[in-house]
Chain A
Amino acid sequence: MDVRVRALETLLTRKGYLDPAALDRIIETYETRVGPHNGARVVARAWVDANFRRWLLADATAAIASLGYTGRQGEHMVAVENTPEQHNLVVCTLCSCYPWPVLGLPPVWYKSAAYRSKAVIDPRGVLADFGVRLPDTTRIRVWDSTAEVRYLVLPMRPPGTGHLDEAALAALVNRDSMIGTGLAGAQPAQAATDSGAAP
Chain B
Amino acid sequence: MNGVHDMGGLQCFGPVRPEPDEPLFHAPWESRALAVTLAMGAGGRWNIDLSRAARESLPPATYLASSYYEIWIRALEQLMLERGLVSAAELAGDATPAPAPADWRPLAAERVDAALAAGSPTERPAAQPARFTVGDRVRAAQRNPAGHTRLPRYVRGQVGTVAHVHGAHIFPDRHVSRPLPPYDDAPEWLYTVVFDGRTLWGAQADPTLEVSVDAWEPYLEPA
Interfacial residues, chain A to chain B (CB-CB below 8 A): 1-2, 4-9, 11-12, 14-19, 21-27, 29-31, 34-35, 70-76, 78, 91, 93-96, 104-105, 107-109, 111-126, 129-130, 136-149, 176, 181, 188-194
The answer to whether A17 and B85 touch across the interface, beta carbons within 8 angstroms, is yes
| Minimal Cβ-Cβ distance residue in A for B31 | A27
A118 CB contact (under 8 Å) in B16, B20, B68, B104: B16
B209 CB → nearest A CB, Å? 5
Instruction: Give A91 to B86 CA distance when docked, in angstroms.
Output: 34
Which of the residues B12, B18, B150 comes within 8 Å of A190, measured between beta carbons? B18
Q: List 29 A-B contacts (CB under 8 A).
A: A1-B69, A4-B29, A11-B97, A15-B86, A15-B90, A15-B99, A16-B100, A17-B39, A22-B35, A25-B109, A26-B34, A27-B31, A29-B116, A31-B31, A75-B119, A94-B7, A104-B24, A108-B67, A112-B17, A117-B10, A118-B13, A118-B15, A120-B8, A122-B206, A144-B213, A146-B151, A149-B192, A189-B18, A189-B20
User: B9 to chain A: which residues have CB within 8 Å?
Assistant: 117, 120-121
On chain B, the residues within 8 Å of A23 by CB distance are 32, 35-36, 39
Partner of A17, one of B12, B100, B119: B100
Pairwise interchain contact A149-B190, C-beta atoms closer than 8 A = yes
Residues B214 and A146 in contact, CB atoms below 8 Å apart: yes
A29 and B10 alpha carbons, distance in the complex (Å): 35
Q: Do the beta carbons of A22 and B122 come within 8 Å of each other?
A: no
Judge if B14 is at the interface, Cβ distance under 8 Å. yes
B183 at interface by CB-CB < 8 Å: no
Is the interface on chain B under 10, 10 to 19, 20 to 34, or 35 or more residues? 35 or more
| A95-B17 in contact given A26-B35, A120-B9, A146-B214 (Cβ < 8 Å) | no
User: In the complex the two chains form, what is the Cα distance from A148 to B170 in whole Å?
Assistant: 9
Q: Which of B38, B122, B154 contacts A148 (CB under 8 A)?
A: B122
